[in-house]
Amino acid sequence: MSKVLAIIPARSGSKSVPHKNIRMIAGKPMLAYSIEHALNCPKIERVIVSTDSEEYAEIAKSYGAEVPFNRPAELAQDTSLDIEVFLHALTYLKEYENYIPDIVVHLRPTYPIRDNRDIENMIEMLERDETADSVRGIVRAKETPYKMWRLEKDGEIKPLLKDFTEAYNMPRQALPCVYSQNACIDVVRSQVIIQKHSMTGEKILGYPMEHNYDIDTEDEFRNTTVALGMKSGGQKFVFDIDGVIAKFNPKLKYDEAEPDKENIQIINHLYERGNYIVLHTARGYTTGVDWQEITKNQMAEWGVRYHELQFGKPDAALYIDDKGISIWEFREIYKRLEKNYE
């Protein structure tokens, strides 16, 4: 059986989302999720956090990870490379503990949603193929590089890829499917890191996934918080009625509104998972008409499960909120999450 080590690199500096590695998300520091993923994987025998921060180290230990060394400050910069961090960790373990793992699992702390089956599967892929150096998590790219260009100094543009004649004029469906790495899980042989000074080596196997929950911006932090709430429960969600629970009615004849069954199914699922559901509506705000009784009857007739129904939401052309998200974004997060955990 292979000796498998998980390394979670968690430096203290971050400019896009300050201290994102320990920022609280759905009740726990972000770092804690990756530690739990590793500890819950039967194939992983040790879980180590590499950090330059005493505070981060104490948090890591409290969630069950080992922190046998302090990462040098020069390896915790914006420009520091993964290979430098992993070489430092493996060199330390060899010199001070005479410990050399066969396989290293790279779990980034900025990825709080994972399926442990993926970790297991990727380790097994590397164990089965002795010719492979590593396995990398990938997702289908949203944009195809066959329709991308390089801008030359003289203003001329040239296609990035030239596998096909005028690929940029071909329909997307006729072009090859391409993938990007999603930073979720990377599995690599330790000797590739030590001897080749590489995080991947030459032969890299791809492991397609359906999601990308790597957090590098405030929007990604918000969306992942939403996803974790959907998954674990205990969160409060506020839903508008018209355009979300009820299909949009341009004439504002609320008594003729029709239910959006797909959105209602999602809301009821969140309710069943222990989330607190609030319905908030602008019905009657401008006209002064009392729609409470009709609205309550509609929610009952449509089978909407909720805890509170609130009126008095101001009517507006656009709502700006730091915790706001469109129903289309929300539904997409829900679908990705459910597909990953089905």
- Sign of the Cα torsion 45, 47, 50, 54 reads negative
Q: What is the pLDDT of residues 108-142, one digit of tens each?
A: 999 998 999 999 999 999 999 999 999 999 999 98
Q: Are the beta carbons of 254 and 291 closer than 8 angstroms?
A: yes
Which CATH code fits 220-341? 3.40.50.1000
- What pLDDT, on a 0 to 100 scale, did the predictor assign at position 142? 86
Domain edges within the chain:
4-140+180-216, 142-177, 220-341
Q: Count other Cβ atoms within 10 Å, centred on residue 255.
A: 10
The pLDDT of residue 231: 76
Q: Which of 105, 333, 128, 97 is nearest to 210 (CA)?
A: 333
Cα gap 279→302, rounded to integer Å: 14
Q: Where on the phi/psi map is residue 64: left (φ > 0), alpha (ψ -120 to 50), or beta? A: left
Tokens 């072009």 identify what position? 175
What's the whole-number mean pLDDT along residues 321-334? Answer: 83
Q: 4-140+180-216 maps to which CATH number?
A: 3.90.550.10
Query: Matching CATH topology for 4-140+180-216 and 220-341?
Result: no
- pTM score: 0.81
Give the model's pLDDT for residue 287.
86
**pLDDT value of residue 16:** 63
Residue 339 predicted with pLDDT over 70: no
CA dist 293 and 131 (Å) reads 69
Percentage of the residues of the chain whose pLDDT score is greater than 70: 97
The string of pLDDT tens digits covering residues 235-288 is: 899 999 999 999 987 777 899 999 999 999 999 999 998 999 999 999 988 888
d(CA 152, CA 154): 5
| Tens of pLDDT, residues 191-235 | 999 999 999 999 999 999 987 778 888 888 888 888 887 877 888
Beta-ladder partners of 180: 139
